[in-house]
Amino acid sequence: MSLPALQIIELDFTDSTNNYAMRLIDGNKAQDGLTIVANAQTNGKGQRGKTWVDIPGNSLLVSVIVAPRHSLQEQFIFNAAITVAIAKVLQKLDDEMRVAVKWPNDIIVNDKKAGGILIENVLRGSNWTHSVIGFGLNLYQDSFPDDLPHAISLKIALGKDVDKTALLTDLSAAIINATRFPIPAGPQMDAYNSLLFRQGMSQRFTDAQLSWTANILHANLDGTLAVQLENGSIVNYQHGQVIWDYGQQII
């Protein structure tokens, strides 16, 4: 099913594209499928209150406003649909590029972080009226600081620049399509888990006190991550409960 022409607001600077989108929603000026893109952000948002830092013009900084067709009980299915849609668009750039999803919604390219997704939902009473899907992708960076050894840009991964406008169009259309025409939960989770970073591999985790390794199994319908500990027991981690440890760098 084809989608109507995309509606895009282009900004030079903003505090964050998600904040801009939220202001439109609060003012009853938001439309399903409206896309906001900025050249730079002064207060970009990341997961768990972190800040997304970018050099103006080097990243794709976008928020898409959608009216969810999923139920409130399917918020992680909604998340999975969006994450898979973005990953599939990126994979089409080059079959040799390895694209994966680090639970719950970081975009991994060639085993390094290329971008992240931040979804903010709007409830009015018991109705899930809007969702703001914010994402940032590293596009044109030639290198990263020493304190970001596990970051990558599409330019580094591909060996060339990407067409920012074409990529924006493809990503926005894929997100809108994934949210307007949802597929059943089972196939959606299968698609998500097929992209799960380090699935079947041993991964180190930390919390405020301890560090340990666990074998990554799969993501569950409720958004938890199932892992198998070294003693053979299986536990489910909630987002924010543990920290994914990359060694010296944690992202």
Name which of 102, 117, 103 is nearest 17 in CA terms. 117
What pLDDT does residue 233 have? 98
What tokens appear for 232 in the block? 């053979």
Q: How far apart are CA 99 and CA 77, in angstroms?
A: 20
What average pLDDT does range 202-228 have in this prediction?
95
Q: What percent of the chain has pLDDT over 70?
A: 92
Per the model's pLDDT, the better-predicted residue between 171 and 54 turns out to be 171
Amino acid at 189: M
Q: How far apart are CA 107 and CA 83, in angstroms?
A: 8
Asked if residue 221 has pLDDT above 80, the reply is yes
Q: How does residue 251 score in pLDDT terms, banded at 50, 70 and 90?
A: very low
Least confident of 45-59, 177-191, 214-228: 45-59
**Which residue matches tokens 């109507």?**
4
Q: What is the pLDDT of residues 63-91, one digit of tens each?
A: 999 999 999 999 999 999 999 999 999 99
Least confident of 37-51, 56-70, 138-152: 37-51
Q: What is the pLDDT of residues 18-50, one digit of tens each?
A: 999 999 999 999 999 999 999 999 876 554 445
Q: What is the pLDDT of residues 168-187, one digit of tens each?
A: 999 999 999 999 999 999 99
- Cross-strand pairs, 226: 218, 236
What pLDDT does residue 146 have? 87
Per the model's pLDDT, the better-predicted residue between 53 and 186 turns out to be 186
Asked if residue 1 has pLDDT above 60, the reply is no
- What domains sit in the chain, N to C, each tagged with a CATH number? 8-194 (3.30.930.10), 202-244 (2.30.30)
Q: What is the mean pLDDT of the chain?
A: 91
What tokens appear for 233 in the block? 């027991």
Asked if residue 103 has pLDDT above 90, the reply is yes
Does the reported pTM lie above 0.85?
Answer: yes
Do residues 106 and 116 make contact, with C-beta atoms less than 8 angstroms apart?
yes
Q: How far apart are CA 40 and CA 185, in angstroms?
A: 36
What pLDDT does residue 245 have? 87
DSSP β-ladder status, 112-124 and 59-66? unpaired
Eight-state DSSP code of residue 196: B
Counting every residue written for the chain, the total comes to 251
Q: How far apart are CA 195 and CA 189, in angstroms?
A: 10
What pLDDT does residue 231 have? 96
Helices (H), the chain: 17-26, 75-91, 154-158, 164-180, 185-194
Do residues 149 and 161 make contact, with C-beta atoms less than 8 angstroms apart?
no
Residue 72's CB is within 10 A of a number of other CB atoms, namely 12
In 3-state terms, the chain is what percent helix, strand and coil (to 5)? 25, 35, 40
